Amino acid sequence: ISSDPNDFSALTPAHFLLGRSLIEPPDADAAIQQCSPRQLHWIQAVIKDFWTRWKSEYLPALASRGKWTSTSPNLSVGDLVLIDSDHTPPSCWPLARVLQVFPGSDGIVRRARLKTATSELTRPAVKLFRLPIYD
């Protein structure tokens, strides 16, 4: 985890489940352990439960949709976000940096231009989850 704005690494649920990022290769010295079918089924159930709860409990907290009478902070240039995709699991959602924001006539950001590790794209603000960054 770095404070460098060009660094796209972030703390993810994989760090808690695996102790490493999903895109890093496994430790070469780690011994391959054989799991019984029962253990494997239990591990798969725990992982599935984790992702279900992460998507239903943690992500909505990031979106923080308050009552329409209260305002929440807009996306701003430099924010680190996850890009929601209905067709991929949350573990595969790409990280991106906000390059430019496009507010509506009411001043609320409706779209943002993003830079991922491989491309630049524009997405609606409702599909973006700002990651909490603490200095």
Domain borders along the chain are: 34-135
Q: What is the mean pLDDT of the chain?
A: 78
Q: Is the pLDDT of residue 102 over 50?
A: yes
CB–CB of 133/80 below 8 Å? Answer: yes
Size of the chain, expressed as the number of residues it contains: 135
Residue 31 is predicted with a pLDDT of: 39
Residue 24 is predicted with a pLDDT of: 56
Task: Quote the distance between the C-alpha of residue 80 and its chain's center.
Answer: 9
Task: Quote the distance between the C-alpha of residue 89 and its chain's center.
Answer: 11
Place of tokens 């279900």: 52
Higher pLDDT, 34 or 29: 34
CATH class of the domain comprising 34-135 = mainly beta
Alpha-carbon distance values, 44 to 15, 37, 83, 105 (Å): 17, 10, 25, 47
- Our CA angle for 2, 5, 6, nearest 5°, is 95
pTM of the full structure: 0.52
Higher pLDDT, 91 or 99: 99
Distance between CA atoms of residues 59 and 82, nearest Å = 10
CB–CB of 106/74 below 8 Å? Answer: no
CB–CB of 108/102 below 8 Å? Answer: no
Q: Is the pLDDT of residue 45 over 70?
A: yes
Residue 23 is predicted with a pLDDT of: 64
